[in-house]
Amino acid sequence: MFRRKKGADKLGYYSCGISSKILKAGELTKVKINGRVLNLTRVNDEIVAFGDTCPHGAASLAKGSLSGYKISCPDHGYCFDIRSGHVLWPEDESYRLNLYAVKVEDGEIKIRIGQI
């Protein structure tokens, strides 16, 4: 297990203290970094990080349903693409999911807190 460092590296990435090897495809892992609650997941070989709060109704997306690159909110069923942040359903809405840059360094997952 990695020990989380308090500060960011020179590029603004924070350690989340999780090895990329234990992050399972299709499962959500909730982490708190620098006061923000995020979800991590692996889809195929890509690690994705997005905000835990649904931009529509503020529900925890960690309690939602993940299918491929689509996360569904547990409260009202809003669906978001975790690659782009765009709402998939309902189509006429303009909410945007907060996404975060991820890198893996020496097997450790690091997240940049500035939104993409």
In a domain, 5, yes or no: no
Query: Does some domain include residue 1?
Result: no
Range of the domain at 102: 13-115
Considering the domain boundaries, does residue 62 fall inside one? Answer: yes
pLDDT tens, residue by residue, 99-115: 999 999 999 999 998 76
> pTM of the entire structure?
0.90
Which residue ranges in the chain fall short of pLDDT 70?
Answer: 1-6, 115-116
- Residue 43 placed within a domain: yes
**Interval 75-91: pLDDT, tens:** 999 999 999 999 999 98
4: Cα separation from own chain's centroid? 17
